[in-house]
Amino acid sequence: MAKKQKSGQGDQTNVQESSDMPVGIFPTIRGKFSSVEEYVQAAKEILEQKKETLSQIKKFKFDTIAVNGIYTPKEAINYNQGALIEPLYLGVAQAYQDTNEWEGAFRYKVPSWCYGRYANPTVWYLEQVLALLEAYQTGHETSCLVTASGMSAIKLAADAFLAKQKKGPEEINFVSSLQLYGGTFQQFIVSQKQDRGIDVRFVVNQTDLNEWKEKIDDNTRFLYTEVPSNPQLAFCDIEAVVNLAHSWEIPFIIDATCATPALMRPIAYGADIVIHSLTKSIGSSGLGLGGALISRKPIVTKLKNDNPFFKESFAEFVKWLSFRDTGPAAAPMNSLMFLNDLRTLRPRMDMLSQNCQRVSEFLEQHPHVYQVDYLGLPNSPLYDLAKKYMKLVDSDDGQGNELNRYGHLMCFRVDGPPENARKVFDNLKLIFRAGDLGRIKSMATLPALSTHLQPGEEFRDKADIPDQMIRLCVGAEDPGDIIADLDQALNSI
Ligand SMILES: *Cc1c(COP(=O)(O)O)cnc(C)c1O
């Protein structure tokens, strides 16, 4: 690359001369310039470097992207004391050199993170790697917003489509699968329906395309589902629902928390927006809360918005408007921990899925268990559907066939009255009793008494969450030890 010497540009020229992979993040502008235009010019060069880095990273396989993200050796050496791990920036605000740089930044012409509620460099590393992983082999570009929690990502995504389009009263609805994480159901029922009067229409059996069709009309703003759902492991034919949504010119939003991009990337099937609770399987260490909203570029929507980002880069639209204005910013420390967990996402989801498969096969044979729900069991009514969508990325079975992996969440139902399930649950000795999932450690939950207590009995009946159901999220302990613990607990009744 030609050497461009600019007044005060300092060592930046050296960075550009090298043929190594350049830097992925926006470094701050080095050197002082005498006009806004010159800062913008310097910024253009930085943005070019970033584009070049991204295009090189996109050629890597999933694991390579997961391990390094956009952090390169060049960046480590030139901007981060050579450290191997992305820097943790706890400082809340960025300093500027002078009014010219500041003006360029506030015109969004000079890359800048400005203030921690809008953005933070450590969070950026995480956003970029999630965008790349979710887009991997889908043929699409994506953008990503990381938030303080999964719930805030869901709320921000939904609200952007529920904004008023005209003066005066408006009938607005959205259609969602009923099989949802309890917190999402509460958010839809309380904040959207009760508080705001949005007509929330639930699909009870999301594999039934007709049920979706019957609920949609001209005022439907989006379709929503969670696959596989927590805890029932409900599934739908994503491609079919995508086609339906797009025939109405509305987006399909999918919460894919329990799959992670290692097992399923809904954007490959045409989904517009993907939600993750990073708190769960992506952040398997369980050391922090976080959420992510990842959008395809562009999304399908018939809503009019003067801001072109709304359609072209929805996650960025949310980031620079409602996210900035409401403030559910992600913690930089949590983001660094998520980056660390992401590095081993594919092999981890492989191992956890295999453990869960073994445990579910054991439970299926157990005399005190009357039903096991796990997508990897050929007896499951959703097995064929899950087989179509849940595949370990970049893997085959040794004979060139795709390798199915079904995740580490399962449920089983204990024979007899609800007290039996409580007894089995209380007798677990190795497995933790916790309203949590996605962990490297095995966890069990009684959904009817915890995660799904608040929505009430009627919801639980419809969503098929009986008192006898124990949700089990299988960890990385030796599966023989997990099975032994379950066996002794089941034999206590
Ligand atoms: C936990 C969970 C959420 C909410 O995420 P938080 O990070 O706890 O706010 C959303 N969707 C699913 C499927 C979940 O399991």
Q: What is the pLDDT of residues 293-318, one digit of tens each?
A: 999 999 999 999 999 999 999 999 99
* Element (DSSP H or E) covering residue 202: strand 199-203
Say if ligand 1 is within 6 A of residue 230 CB.
yes
What's the pLDDT score for residue 460? Answer: 85
The mean pLDDT of 268-281, rounded to a whole number, is 98
Task: Indicate if the pLDDT at residue 483 is higher than 70.
Answer: yes
Q: Output the residue whose Cα is nearest ligand 1's atom 4.
A: 150
Say if ligand 1 is within 6 A of residue 150 CB.
yes
**Which own/partner contact pairs does 163-166 have at CB distance under 8 Å and 24+ positions apart?**
163/303, 165/303, 165/304
Say if ligand 1 is within 6 A of residue 255 CB.
yes
211 CA to centre of ligand 1 in angstroms? 25
Task: Indicate if the pLDDT at residue 136 is higher than 50.
Answer: yes
Say if ligand 1 is within 6 A of residue 184 CB.
yes
Residue carrying the six token digits 């009263």: 169
Provide the residue count of the chain.
493
Q: Output the residue whose Cα is nearest ligand 1's atom 5.
A: 150
Beta carbons of 412 and 472 less than 8 angstroms apart? yes
Say if ligand 1 is within 6 A of residue 233 CB.
no
152 CA to centre of ligand 1 in angstroms? 9
Pair of tokens at residue 246: 């797009």
Say if ligand 1 is within 6 A of residue 291 CB.
yes
Task: In whole angstroms, give the CA distance from residue 388 to residue 410.
Answer: 18
Beta carbons of 405 and 390 less than 8 angstroms apart? yes
Atom of ligand 1 nearest to the CA of 258: 13
Residue among 235, 257, 276 whose CB has most ligand 1 atoms within 8 A, to mutate: 257
Side chain identity at residue 166, one-letter code: K
Residue among 191, 225, 226, 230 whose CB has most ligand 1 atoms within 8 A, to mutate: 230
Say if ligand 1 is within 6 A of residue 289 CB.
yes
Task: Indicate if the pLDDT at residue 2 is higher than 50.
Answer: no
181 CA to centre of ligand 1 in angstroms? 7
Beta carbons of 285 and 438 less than 8 angstroms apart? no
**Which class in CATH covers the domain with range 345-490?**
alpha beta
Residue among 178, 181, 225 whose CB has most ligand 1 atoms within 8 A, to mutate: 181
Model confidence band, residue 464 (pLDDT cutoffs 50, 70, 90) = confident
**CB neighbours (10 Å) of residue 406?**
29
Say if ligand 1 is within 6 A of residue 185 CB.
no
**Which class in CATH covers the domain with range 121-342?**
alpha beta
Say if ligand 1 is within 6 A of residue 439 CB.
no
What's the pLDDT score for residue 295? Answer: 98
pLDDT tens string 137-186: 999 999 999 999 999 999 999 999 999 888 888 899 999 999 999 899 99
Pair of tokens at residue 193: 């329906």
Say if ligand 1 is within 6 A of residue 149 CB.
yes
The mean pLDDT of 425-433, rounded to a whole number, is 98
Give strand pairing partners of 177: 203
What's the pLDDT score for residue 26? Answer: 75
What's the pLDDT score for residue 17? Answer: 44
- Where does CATH 3.40.640.10 sit in the chain? 121-342
Residue carrying the six token digits 């039934």: 208
Say if ligand 1 is within 6 A of residue 235 CB.
no
pLDDT tens string 41-86: 999 988 888 889 999 999 999 999 999 999 999 899 988 999 999 9
CA angle 360, 151, 87 (to 5 degrees): 95
For residue 134, give every residue at least 6 positions away whose Cβ sits within 8 Å of its Cβ, in sequence order, or none.
Answer: 142, 144, 261, 265, 267, 274, 294
Task: Indicate if the pLDDT at residue 358 is higher than 80.
Answer: yes
What's the pLDDT score for residue 1? Answer: 40
Say if ligand 1 is within 6 A of residue 187 CB.
no
Pair of tokens at residue 86: 């992305």
Residue carrying the six token digits 């919801």: 459
Model confidence band, residue 31 (pLDDT cutoffs 50, 70, 90) = confident
Say if ligand 1 is within 6 A of residue 284 CB.
no
Say if ligand 1 is within 6 A of residue 127 CB.
no
- Where does CATH 3.90.1150.10 sit in the chain? 345-490
Model confidence band, residue 19 (pLDDT cutoffs 50, 70, 90) = low
